[in-house]
Amino acid sequence: MKLYNLKNYCEQVNFLQAVKMGLGKNQGLFFPVDLPIIPKKQLKQIIEMDFLSRSVKILSMLIGSEISISDLEKYVRQAFSFPGPNIVPVTKNISCCELFHGPTLAFKDFGARFMAQIISHLNIENNIITILTATSGDTGAAVARAFYEYKNVRVVILYPKGKISTLQEALFCTLGKNITTIAIDGSFDECQALVKQAFNDHQLRHDTGLNSANSINISRLLAQICYFFEAYALISKEQRKKLVIAVPCGNFGNLTAGLLAKSMGLPIQSFIAATNANDTVPRFLKTGKWKPYDCISTISNAMDISRPNNWPRVEELFSRKKWKLTTLGFGSVSDAITEQTLLKLQNIGYTSEPHAAVAYQLLQNQLKEDEFGLFLGTAHPSKFKNVIDNILNINIPLPETLKAPSELPILSHYMKPNFKKLKHFLTSE
């Protein structure tokens, strides 16, 4: 697999290099040179395969000979060793594609666990690697759990202090061992900026064996393509005819993966990019002006991102495929409407959480009569117990995965959003 840097087309790397580097020169994102297309006949066979075998097939089409099929098979089986996507009907023509039955109850388990497998494949020389990542809530947990107790891997996770739910925090800030967490006195965008700065510092990068596990890492995106195929495989032939998928977006990794699946020939009619009040992309699609505002805290906190990292990839894909950006559905949903939507969903018998609700609301508004809609369930509702219990007047039970960590002390460090301090921390620990 060859990839090029979106900020410097001359810089080309292979898949393993791209995973290792995270970002290219000038903080450019890597993007595939070839966009494989599955012929219609083969697509039919692929859809009929089981989730794991199909995922190996898709990933091997993308990655090529850099990783042997037998290794890839091993990695996929170890990474996706939890209940896969699950389709739950919500209304007559809308279902939720639940992606949250993994070890940290969010879709990020797919990408993070596959990435961990690839990193350990890379690290056959057993060099020390530092995984530095910023999280707006769920990445931290997925990455921390995916790398927990891995030999020679130190994980350092930055998150905006007080801006993630206490249950999210408990999932990754209570682990210790090779997992270090830092509560940053700032927004997620500031955490992300610190990570970017660290990557721009060559000496630091070299000295600490720096690697990122953010959704900028191509291995995560590739892994996520697999569940779009599974979602398609799980719905009926009738539902497949005019399929619209609404994606709750933060950094736009999930949407990028879905669009990549479509570019490979998966017949998804269209996507809806759903955001909360952090609506840089919806405003851009409406006005043509890219104008990020300061980040706003909302109840769908994993989407509180006003400078979405993966957006350049979305634009590149549209331009490469000659798709018109105007065909991308979009919308932004306020907290007040999100709360109403949660109640509405609860009343029709589906307990959801704020992120999925944002996507559901837009799907319900925009879906035409002859279409079938899927909205992605990106996290388990119990992860947002602190908000949904109040809104829905329920007492959602905590699954054991959440209950055990919520009883442990938080081990996080604390830091102002200051790069010098972070650098000192990374080199002296």
Ligand X SMILES: *Cc1c(COP(=O)(O)O)cnc(C)c1O
Residues that bind ligand X (CB under 6 A): 106, 108, 137-138, 215, 248-254, 302-303, 355, 378-379
Q: Which is nearer to ligand X, 32 or 137 (CB)?
A: 137
As measured in angstroms, the least distance from the Cβ of 125 to ligand X is 31
User: From its phi and psi, is residue 128 left (phi > 0), alpha (psi between -120 and 50) or beta?
Assistant: beta
As measured in angstroms, the least distance from the Cβ of 217 to ligand X is 12
Q: Which is nearer to ligand X, 57 or 313 (CB)?
A: 313
As measured in angstroms, the least distance from the Cβ of 195 to ligand X is 14
As measured in angstroms, the least distance from the Cβ of 223 to ligand X is 12
d(CA 399, CA 355): 19
- At residue 419, the 3 state secondary structure works out as helix
Q: How far is CA 351 from the centre of its chain?
A: 22
* 96 φ, ψ (degrees, to nearest 5): -95, 130
Q: Which helix (H) or strand (E) holds 130?
A: strand 129-134
- At residue 236, the 3 state secondary structure works out as coil
Q: Which is nearer to ligand X, 130 or 168 (CB)?
A: 168
Q: Which is nearer to ligand X, 239 or 254 (CB)?
A: 254
Identify which of 225, 105, 210, 110 has the alpha carbon closest to the alpha carbon of residue 156. 210
Q: Which is nearer to ligand X, 23 or 67 (CB)?
A: 23
> Residue 419 to residues 191, 193, 415, 425: CA-CA distances in angstroms?
10, 9, 10, 10
d(CA 161, CA 381): 22
Q: Which is nearer to ligand X, 55 or 378 (CB)?
A: 378
As measured in angstroms, the least distance from the Cβ of 299 to ligand X is 11
Q: Which helix (H) or strand (E) holds 86?
A: strand 86-89
Q: Which is nearer to ligand X, 5 or 215 (CB)?
A: 215
Residue with tokens 């001359």: 10
Q: Which residues neighbour 45 within 8 Å (Cβ) at sequence distance 6 or greater?
A: none
* 374 φ, ψ (degrees, to nearest 5): -120, 135
> Residue 56 to residues 65, 74, 150, 285, 298: CA-CA distances in angstroms?
13, 9, 23, 35, 37
Tokens, residue 15:
């898949």
- Strand 270-275 and strand 243-248: the pairing is parallel
As measured in angstroms, the least distance from the Cβ of 194 to ligand X is 18
d(CA 88, CA 109): 20
> CA end-to-end span of the chain, whole Å?
36
d(CA 107, CA 111): 8
As measured in angstroms, the least distance from the Cβ of 45 to ligand X is 29
Contact 88, 386 (CB under 8 A): no
| Local structure of residue 106 (DSSP, 8 states) | B
Q: Which is nearer to ligand X, 67 or 250 (CB)?
A: 250
As measured in angstroms, the least distance from the Cβ of 386 to ligand X is 14
Q: Which is nearer to ligand X, 73 or 109 (CB)?
A: 109
As measured in angstroms, the least distance from the Cβ of 138 to ligand X is 3
- Residue 400's CB is within 10 A of a number of other CB atoms, namely 7
Tokens, residue 90:
């919500």
Q: Which is nearer to ligand X, 117 or 217 (CB)?
A: 217
As measured in angstroms, the least distance from the Cβ of 253 to ligand X is 3
As measured in angstroms, the least distance from the Cβ of 360 to ligand X is 12
Q: Which is nearer to ligand X, 117 or 378 (CB)?
A: 378
